[in-house]
Structure 1
Amino acid sequence: MFLKGAKITAIGSYVPARRLTNSDLEQMVDTNDEWIVQRTGIRERRISREDEYTSDLCTAAVLDLMKRYGKSIQDVDMILVATSTPDFPFPSVASILQNRLGIPSTAGAIDMSAACAGFVYALHTAHAYVASGLHRKVLVLGADALSKITDYTDRSTCILFGDGAGAVLVESDEQLDGFAGFHLGSDGSGAHHVYRTGLSRSVNEVELVDTGKLVQNGREVFRWAVRTVPQGVQQVLNNAGISLDQVDWFIPHSANLRMIEPICERLNYPLEQALYSLEYFGNTSAASIPLALDLGIRGGKVLNGQQILLYGFGAGLTHAGQLVKLELAPEVSPPTPL
């Protein structure tokens, strides 16, 4: 059964101008284009300028949204930013955006930390706010500047990550059924498999490598995701009361194409109906799902009224799925090229 009262009405996205290609990485670490493409499906990623931060990526994504759909954000009453790379521990990126974008100071503003599952968690939270009647118009962003915490001497991680941002508006509408089943989960026993050290240097009684950069045990994350995501997708479908063959598009987190392939295989879902943003943007963490969604919209694949299953997964180990139907306003201007 669809829950009522909320809809996604607009979307925007942004990636930095600088491209870091596989050929570029060949000059930095012991790797090559064929090796990277075979193991990840990634050909290039976008890298933010030295003076370009997550708040800047978010600002550009919101401006793209406003330009394309002619939407005002003066009546936004809550801002949610999913990110693992805020400009500062505090103040939040959401607070910076409120001031920079001229959103009234009566709007709430919070950052959410759920790594690569962050955008779906934020979208779920926005739906809860709007469907409950607490808020009427929520600006939701997934954004990360992972290049700023990537170790470019570690070929197992530096080939993966890029920077970007995606933004959507979630608005109140009692007549439309924009959100359906969902499923959330977390397995903290695997928290030491993806991390960046902070005030503490250990988790789960495991001493962490203190590089100040992102550290990942890719093999363990792969095993967990390929096992967990198909189970979570089925929970979303059960919650919504539909079958997988009714889903028009599946948008998993764009971690690695070699991870998406076995997930689709276990689901018996056509890979050609899975949308991802990794080929030219890399793994952009919280931004990867909104970027993939927007690429589908820009390409004329994703249409209003279709069933779209989003599923994020990553550090924590957190995961989150949401079934949505878009109800985008008509575009009044072409999107800013990516």
Structure 2
Amino acid sequence: MSAARFAKIVGTGSALPRNVVSNAALAEKLAAQGVETSDSWIVERTGIRQRHIAALEVTSSELGTQAALAALQAAGMQAKDIDLIICATSTPDFVFPSTACLIQAKLGVAGGAAFDVQAVCSGFAYAMATADAYIRTGLANNALVIGSEVFSRILDWNDRTTCVLFGDGAGAVVLAASESPGILASRLHADGSQQHILRTAGNVCSGAIVGHPFLTMDGQAVFKLAVRVLDEVAREVVTAAGMQLEQIDWLIPHQANVRILSATAKKLGLPESKTIVTVDQHANTSAASIPLALDLAVRDGRIRPGHHVLMEGVGGGFTWGAVLARM
């Protein structure tokens, strides 16, 4: 009988654009175009204090490549060791080819599978669950799982209810086949009937933009749904792993809003001291938010080998999902 096969996180990495925009700087810029906001208004409602904004020439594939290289270095591996690349993004460089294929080319490797997943802010959870399945079934041995976004490209800078919320960045992990448990359980869900509460309802047709090209959101509806489903899917995945919530060392929710993070931890009965929070520094980076937070906490020593880390996301679609990992 062959030994059990698992997917284990062996390296993490991240990449952030150089341009850091504080709330005060953003408020000044918006005021010049007649949009009123302030640092206190943004902090009170979201917990965000700054965000990174990519220069026009910086793409999701560029940020994703930087994060991937950092993760490979942390894993002590080279790009040629990777036989699967999955990139979670809602802001790809092109309609096609996929951002994952562009990252593969920038890494200088070819032959392994490479594709994107599009589940918006749940994208990293979807990508991790997919890579885990590939490795467990022997279809891949070493996978790069990347979340990379340039959400600043799809924001209406005249809408203060959305433009203050988002930032750009990328995070990545290397998953490797292992005989010891790594990814313990994952669960993914969606409800397409809720697509209207958070979306960018535009596309390119015959060389023209059709529909609305900017992000729109019903903030109250998103908050209510997010807190409920994040609680439900966290409990579901912990149960699937045969564990109790008290055994979770760290919770890494999608970094959308500090109020959602606090409400989620409270509903789960987890102290906020166990929640990794980066929304104050990065704002909402969609599919990049979980791997960015994971990498930060690994590198600053909070997350250590043996820790149980619960990662969960919720986003437009409406989608949600969670992954429980033993580091």
Same fold by TM-score, threshold 0.5 exceeded?
A: yes
The reply on whether 1:101 has 2:107 as its aligned counterpart is yes
What do residues 171-223 of structure 1 show as CA deviations (whole Å, max 9, x unaligned)?
112x210011222111111101111123499xxxxxxx943111111111001
Residues 183 and 89 of structure 1: is their aligned pair in 2 closer, same or farther, counting only changes over 3 Å?
same
Separation in 1, partners of 2:228, 2:313: 14
Q: Offset of 1:266 from its aligned partner?
A: 1.2
> Structure 1: how far apart are the matches of 2:218 and 2:283?
18
- Please state how far the C-alpha of 1:106 moved relative to its aligned partner: 1.3
Partner of 2:82: 76
Question: Is the 8 Å Cα contact of residues 14 and 165 (structure 1) preserved in structure 2?
Answer: yes
CA distance in 2, matches of 1:268, 1:192: 31
- Which of the residues 38, 41, 44 maps onto 1:38? 44
2:62 maps to 1:56? yes
Change over 3 Å in CA distance of 1:199–1:51 after alignment to 2? closer
2:244 is matched with which residue?
Answer: 243
**Which amino acid in 1 is paired with 2:27?**
E
- Structure 2 residue aligned with 1:189: 193
Identity across matched positions, percent: 41
Counterpart in the other structure of 1:294: 295
CA distance in 1 between partners of 2:169 and 2:60 (Å):
8
1:179 partnered with 2:183: yes
Q: What residue identity is the alignment partner of 1:114?
A: A
Distance 1:312 1:191, change over 3 A: same
- Whether the 8 Å contact between 1:277 and 1:289 is mirrored in structure 2 is no
- Is the 8 Å Cα contact of residues 276 and 288 (structure 1) preserved in structure 2? no
In the alignment, structure 1 residue 139 sits paired with structure 2 residue 140: no
Structure 1: distance between partners of 2:181 and 2:264: 28
Q: How many equivalent pairs are there?
A: 315
Q: Distance in 1 between matches of 2:6 and 2:244?
A: 23
Q: Work out the CA distance in 1 between the residues paired with 2:121 and 2:18.
A: 22
Q: TM-score, normalised by structure 1?
A: 0.90
Deviations 1:298-324 (A, max 9, x none): 211000110000001110110010100
1:226-250 CA-to-partner distances (Å, cap 9, x unmatched) read: 1111111111111011110000000
- 1-structure distance, mates of 2:232, 2:325: 18
**Alpha-carbon offset, residue 73 of structure 1:** 1.5
Separation in 2, partners of 1:311, 1:149: 24
| 133-142 or 62-71, which deviates more | 62-71
Superposition deviation, residue 4 in structure 1: 4.2
How many angstroms apart in 2 are the aligned matches of 1:68 and 1:245? 29
